[in-house]
Amino acid sequence: MKIKRENKVTDEIPTASMADVSFLLIVFFMITSTFAATRGLDFALPEQDDNPPVIEKEESTLIEVMPGGQLIVDGQPMALDGILDYLRPKLERNPLKPVIIRPDPASEYGYMVDVFDELRQGAEQGVEVKNISIPTQREIQAFWY
């Protein structure tokens, strides 16, 4: 009698379905993930202080942001790209000169960010503004004179 030879079993891990599973996971991630904005301007808030240091008006530079985006720097109308040139000699004399941004409550938030960003970018142009302050209306009413 002829004995039939046993079929040889190959030792192989089936990987064909792994690609299917992997692609299902990829499709899941592609659908659920969004291109969200995850960058922004960092803004360190000062600690609460009931007796903040008094800064004389003459010692600081005041940038007022008016509705519509008009800027008034130390009482003079000024364009956004003129601020750093205006500040350069002042900061050379006093590198810690405070620069106060005071947006009008009726102005748009975007204009305040434009000014803040311009001041932060000054470091790249050799005009580093180290002391930027954006007081809130409550602080202005409490401490402004």
Partner 1 sequence: MRLKASKSSQAVIPTATMADIAMLLIIFFLVTFQIEVDKSEVELPSTGIRVEVPKKSAYVSVTELGYIRVSSGEEMSVQVPGAEEVFSFASGLIARDPAKEFVLKADRNVPYRLVDELIDALKRANVRNVYLLSDEEARSSGG
CB of 1 to partner 1, least distance (A): 29
CB of 3 to partner 1, least distance (A): 26
**What is the closest distance, in whole angstroms, from the C-beta atom of residue 27 to partner 1 in the complex?**
10
Q: Looking at beta carbons only, is 46 or 95 nearer to partner 1?
A: 46
Q: What are phi and psi of 77, to 5 degrees?
A: -65, 140
In Å, what is the CA distance from 45 to each residue of 11, 23, 132?
64, 45, 10
Burial of residue 65, with CB atoms counted within 10 A of its CB: 0-12 exposed, 13-18 middle, 19 or more buried: buried
Read off the amino acid at residue 106. Answer: A
Backbone angles phi, psi at 15, to 5 degrees: -110, 0
Q: Would you say 12 or 58 has its CB closer to partner 1?
A: 12
Pick 48 or 51: Cβ nearer partner 1: 48
Output 109 or 145, the one with its CB closest to partner 1: 109
Binding site for partner 1 (CB under 8 A): 15-16, 18-19, 22-23, 25-26, 29-30, 32-34, 36-48, 65, 79-81, 103-114, 116-118, 120-121, 134, 136-139
Q: Are 64 and 102 in contact (CB under 8 A)?
A: yes
Residue with tokens 């240091």: 53
CB of 58 to partner 1, least distance (A): 26
